[in-house]
Every structure is written in structure tokens, then in C-alpha cells.
Structure 1
């Protein structure tokens, strides 16, 4: 009987032991992620603001109705739309450029691949604030390097108004953000490509597959397993990336 009780206790301990080991991480996630989200969700249904810090009350869906139909609509929807576009274009732009460069650098016949990797990692190695402020100088309408080069090459006849025209400002911000982010995607793709067994491609060559068929059926599925979580986290980062736009445009 005693042995049975001890066995049951041991089984119970074995059942909860993983949760004991995970408890620091679970508590941190709850306190730093789940609880703030819950509090924010609760405040969304109240009139909590600077004027009602302690005497706020429940207002139902009034805040959501105001966003959709009130004067705030003219500000909120354009900003939300641009934020989604910015996050989407930045994420897939970084990934596509990083993947293309990784495919080129993964070529065994490219002896200078190591040198190119070291050069291409520079945008990621430079502190973000310094790199962003550098782009602010490059995009300057009067003496920025980009306008000067384009004019010297006779691609444009007059300076592009990067800071005053909304469309060009967005293009400039996207360009800078993609330049800052593609080396990270490139490194991930290079690491994934190096793990694909060579016999996969050898078998494809025997079957007569061309480079596109090998890319679609071997390379891309192999990269997808690591790309999906990477793209999700990158989209979340870019969705909240306010610093790049603010530093480049100085809040304009």
C-alpha cells in the first residue's frame, strides 16, 4: 500500500515537473505579455485617459464606434493602412532580397563569397540609429548623396523631394528599412541553404529537373520551415517600428 502511494506521488510529481521547470518563463510571459494585453483590452471598453485616470467608467463599444465613424476615422484608417503596407513591403522586401543574395553566395564556384558576406553584413552590424541618421543625410533634397548620384547619371533632372512629398518620403523610408533588414534574412537563408543535402539536387539532376524546378521543389520548401516564423516575427517588428520613420523624417 505504501509503495503504491509513493508511486502515485512520483507519477504526480513527474506530471507537474515540466511545468515547474517552465514556471519562470510562463510567469514572465504572463506578467509581461498576457497581462498587459488583458489590461489594454479592458481599458478599450472604458473612458480611461489622462482626464480620467482614476474615475474612468465602462462605455461599451463607444471607443470602437468613434474610431470607425467619428472624426478620428480620417486619421486612424490612413495611418493603419500605411503601417500595414510598410510592415508587409518591408518584411517581404527584406526576405526576397536576402534570399536572392543567399542563393548567389551559396554558389560553390564563387570563391569570394566569404568577402561578400562580410561586406553585406555591414548594414546589420551598424547600430540602427546611426544607420538611420545616415540615410537621413543621403535622402536630403539639397545635398543628399542619392539625389547627387542620380543627377550625375542623368536619371533625374531635378532633386527628388524625399522629405516634402509624402509618396517619395514613404519610398525613402521603405528603402532605408529594407537596407537595414535584408542582411538578417540573408544570414538565415544562407544557414538554411547550407543544410540542404547535396543528394537532393543530384537526384533532381538525374531526373532532368531544371534550375527553376529544383528551386520550387527543393530549395523553397526547405527554406519555408524556417521562414514562416521568421516572417511572422519580422512583420510584428516592422509593424511596431516607429523609430526608422521618425529618425529619417524627424517627425515630419
Structure 2
């Protein structure tokens, strides 16, 4: 029986790469998006042209009812759900002193509450022996000025990951997280010169910035059989920095 995965934030960078990689490995993919309808359609079209099986579903992960409907639609289409990749997230650069309640609420609602909602649904909807991967940040252990609200939410994601792994272990469901760092993305490049980018790359022991596909490869590993004894772990995909 073909395995089925739900990927939230599937129209974004890491989510897009995860959908493409998993579909290429023969998974049924439910690509969940919130605002990226055009991007989701383009990704789905590419997957289908390559012979993959994909379903696109709009869902706001901050609303439990919409997350429940996401699982319903996936089960109606593919018959079951075996795995979840909780990629939906957002980030803002703002000092703690300048982070008003709206900024903090957005980071907590999307990154933390959204992940909680997907974990709550997955806890009862995934088939035994399934797997879950959440997305944190490699900066959580060290802290980076300007990302206080974001990293506070991501630290909460790591806590949820570890607890969920222990609560779901009796059903053979593994729960892990990937924590990417210094990926070469349009958001990261914004406002930086080539010299700036080279300076950041020089901080990484491997001498370069990462790629969405490398984060997706880590996700695929954690979902797959080679990670059958990997549980409650935070895999920092960061080239050794920070």
C-alpha cells in the first residue's frame, strides 16, 4: 500500500522541496498551503508531470477545525495518513524590546499553535508505525538578536516534538524535528550584498550556505525506514554552524 504524507506549509521553500522529494519516492502527498495557492498549483503540476500523486488543500494551521478538515480530505482521497511534515511557519526580524503583542502573537500562533494543532490531529489519525517531522531552527540553542519571538516559538516546537514522541511511542509512531540553519533562500538574501553572503558562508565549517533540498533530504530520512530507531531527536541541518 502506498504511503501518504501531509505536508503543511507545502508551498514554501522547505515544504516545496519536501513535497517534491517524497512524491519522487512514491509517496502520496497532501500539499497543504495557506496563502500560496498559485505556488501550490505549480508544485502540484510539476509532481503530476513527473508521475507523482498529489492533492492540494488550503488550510490555516492556526485553526484546529481547518487542520481536522485537512486530515479528512486526505483520508477521503488516499484512504489513510501515514506521516506528517509540519512545515508551516513564519519569521520576523524584530528585537524583543520592539516586538509588540501582534508580532509575538503571529509567531506563537503560526509556529507553535499551528504545529500543536497538526500534532493533535496526527495523534489520533496517523496509522500505527507512522512518523512525524516538525520544523524548528538551528538558532534555538544559541539565540540570534532580532529573532526572539520566532525562536521562542520554535523552542516550543522542540518541546512538543519530544513530548509527542513519548506519548505516541506505544503506537510505533516516531516524532522528530529538523532544525535548518543558514539556508540560501530569497528571504535570507534580501537586503544582503554578495559580500555579505560570502561572509555568512565563511562562518559555516563546510564553507557554503545550505539548500532547501538538503533540509528535505533530512525530512525524508526521518520519515523513512532507515530512521526506524530515531525518535524524539532534533536534527540540526546546518553545515556545522551555529
Query: For the superposition of Structure 1 and Structure 2, which TM-score range results when normalised by the shorter chain?
Result: under 0.3
Larger radius of gyration, structure 1 or 2? 1
State the TM-score, normalized to the length of structure 1.
Answer: 0.23
Higher RCO structure (Cα 8 Å, ≥6 apart):
1
